[in-house]
Amino acid sequence: MTIPANGSADNAPTSVASADVGRILLDSTVLIDALRGRPAGERLRALRRQGDEPWTCAISIEEIWRGLLPGEDAVAQRLVRGLRCAPLGPTEGIRAGSWRRQFAERGITLHQADCLIAAATAGINARLATGNPADFPMDDITIEHWPVGR
């Protein structure tokens, strides 16, 4: 299920059964927006005020570091230090590989990194905040769409 940026959807349930409402894993699209001072940064700060716990995973950290601009290292380090990091172990690897295989059987190609991010999200029973909800078609996780640049 995808929840729009404003947090509501006509067909969304009143509670999130599949995820702990306190945990949200932020993918690289959200973190890069926060790093660059876009509105996602304010949303990220608001998470803590609302009692939500922001997480990320090693895949998203790698994606951020790969695209850092000159002078962004220190800010990126502060950003990452303020987040919990979801584990990526055998359980998450199996879940990610199973999703890739299942979707491939239906003719849908999923990226390895996206499947690992989704598996990390499921592993900590969290929601996933992303600017690219179409990259995460798995029914096992709840997606929050944080549009890029907004």
Angle at 76 between CA 41 and CA 130, to 5 degrees: 50
114 is known to lie in a ligand binding site: yes
27 annotated ligand binder: yes
C-beta of residue 142 within 8 angstroms of C-beta of residue 19: yes
Nearest to 55 by CA among 82, 16, 89: 82
Assigned token pair, 148: 């890029």
| Feature table: binding site | 27, 114
| Feature table: binding site for Mg(2+) | 27, 114
